[in-house]
Amino acid sequence: DAGVIQSPRHEVTEMGQEVTLRCKPISGHDYLFWYRQTMMRGLELLIYFNNNVPIDDSGMPEDRFSAKMPNASFSTLKIQPSEPRDSAVYFCASSSAHGSPLHFGNGTRLTVT
């Protein structure tokens, strides 16, 4: 299995632009998670899905952030418009049954100038 695949690995954009981060979970996993990591706040859970349905989006910082999971093999995290304070590493993770480990992707390093 290729593991959780995230793209792009790096993204540099200007303030005000739309940014879309992508994630392909491990096949057969029912849960998908989006995390953000910064030096100041550490790893924060933004949102997670179960069977493609958003379960908890309480970590999404504001309306500029949105996430979708149109099918079991793909999810996107969109920021529109982006701001410099959104600069961070964004991780996607997936897991299978209740209690099972989370498998993390390699992350997308976002820089907003």
Partner 1 sequence: DAKTTQPNSMESNEEEPVHLPCNHSTISGTDYIHWYRQLPSQGPEYVIHGLTSNVNNRMASLAIAEDRKSSTLILHRATLRDAAVYYCMIMEYGNKLVFGAGTILRVKS
Q: In terms of CB distance, is 78 or 103 closer to partner 1?
A: 103
The Cα 30–Cα 96 span in angstroms is 5
Q: In terms of CB distance, is 12 or 43 closer to partner 1?
A: 43
Q: In terms of CB distance, is 21 or 105 closer to partner 1?
A: 105
Residue 96 and residue 32 in contact, taking contact as beta carbons nearer than 8 Å: no
Taking the complex as a whole, how short is the minimal distance between the CB of residue 56 and partner 1, in angstroms? Answer: 6
Binding site for partner 1 (CB under 8 A): 31, 33, 35, 42-45, 48, 50, 55-56, 91, 93, 95, 98-107
Taking the complex as a whole, how short is the minimal distance between the CB of residue 108 and partner 1, in angstroms? Answer: 10
The Cα 73–Cα 13 span in angstroms is 26
Nearest to 94 by CA among 53, 54, 49: 49
Q: In terms of CB distance, is 63 or 98 closer to partner 1?
A: 98
The Cα 49–Cα 83 span in angstroms is 25
